[in-house]
Amino acid sequence: MRYAMIMAGGAGTRLWPMSRKQRPKQLLPLIDGTSLLELASTRMEGIVPPERRLICTSESHRQALRKALPHFSDEQILGEPVGRDTVNAVALTAVVLAKRDPAAIFAVLTADHIIEPQDEFRRKVDLGFQLVEDDPTRFTTFSIMPTYPATAYGYVERGDPLPGFQSAYLAKRFVEKPDAATARGYVDAGTFGWNSGMFVFSAAHFLEALGRFKPTAWEGISRIGEAWGTPRQDAVLREVYPTLPKISVDYAVMEPAARDDEITVCTITLGIWWMDVGNWPSYGETLSEDGNGNRSNAPTTHLDSRGVITVSDDPEHTITTIGCTNLIIVHTSDATLVCPVSEAERVKELAGKVDPALQ
């Protein structure tokens, strides 16, 4: 049967001071009063029934998540004791689903992306399921047609098309974040797509591959799987999960799988508008722009300012600027951030230095 898992374990520190440890970015009502996680939770309508959708998140976020998304039961929330990167979130999901349903096929989705149009996305995810249902040894990833030579994303190189599956190709290789010149070459080549971090796997075959490529992780995940559904479940999870090697699913599984004769790695090209809301400039792109390139989600008055992003969680608080250029201003009830747009990536560093009560 078909299942889906949304990865929602990120801390979102680049969106501080709004994103905090107890209220990470995926739960913030950033998009017209709706959270990114709420948007992600509806993407499988008509593809995967609600009762077969899961969320993998930090255990510390369970109560906040249940409050925001009450239709997800405790059994549908996989709470990580600590974050151990994406391969372990996927492996935990795989071992839980394989125990419930040995023939489980699941989509791995993300909680911090904006994707439009939804109908096109669902059609391509359905195609991803079809590929794995046709051959469970296939690993399917989704690549985004690049609109510029991004250096913040990994890339997937497309190989030969898969007969009978339009928009599906063999994946020749995975490339981590390139430098600017290399990224330009990828875009010009026309055979590379941004790696979206979304996949479709057979749970059983993913675990088999994990055992070959990352046996230490497989051993720990197998111990968790053996205890799952028993009175020892939570104790074993808390004991074993923090010991798992911290590594991404791309490094641990997808890259070696693309070189493995026993696994067919496929990529489906998504012709959609896709945005990773990972920092304030990317969030600014979701906001309307005035004639001077200023963007805001709150009452704002600018005098001779250009390229300013202003964000507030108080709709009655007005932000004003004079003569500012390419600036980020974020206001909350207990903290305010001001920095140049060019320094947006350092917000994560700053968030780790403020008073722990504000983290």
Cα distances (angstroms) measured from residue 29 to each of 82, 196, 312: 25, 23, 11
Residue 149 pLDDT exceeds 80:
yes
Check residue 34 and give left, alpha or beta (phi > 0: left; psi -120 to 50: alpha). Answer: beta
In 3D space, the residue among 5, 37, 40 whose CA is nearest the CA of residue 24 turns out to be 37
Strands 113-116 and 273-276: antiparallel
| Residue ranges per structural domain of the chain | 2-276, 280-358
Residue 10 pLDDT exceeds 80:
no
CATH number of 2-276: 3.90.550.10
Distance CA 98, CA 136 (A): 13
Model confidence pLDDT, tens digit, residues 63-81: 999 999 999 999 999 999 9
Distance CA 21, CA 308 (A): 27
Give the pLDDT of residue 8: 93
Residue 11 pLDDT exceeds 80:
no
Distance CA 221, CA 96 (A): 10
Residue 273 pLDDT exceeds 90:
no
Q: Which amino acid is at 333?
A: S
pTM: 0.91
Q: What is the mean pLDDT of the chain?
A: 94
Q: Mean per-residue pLDDT for 306-310?
A: 98
Model confidence pLDDT, tens digit, residues 108-123: 999 988 999 999 999 9
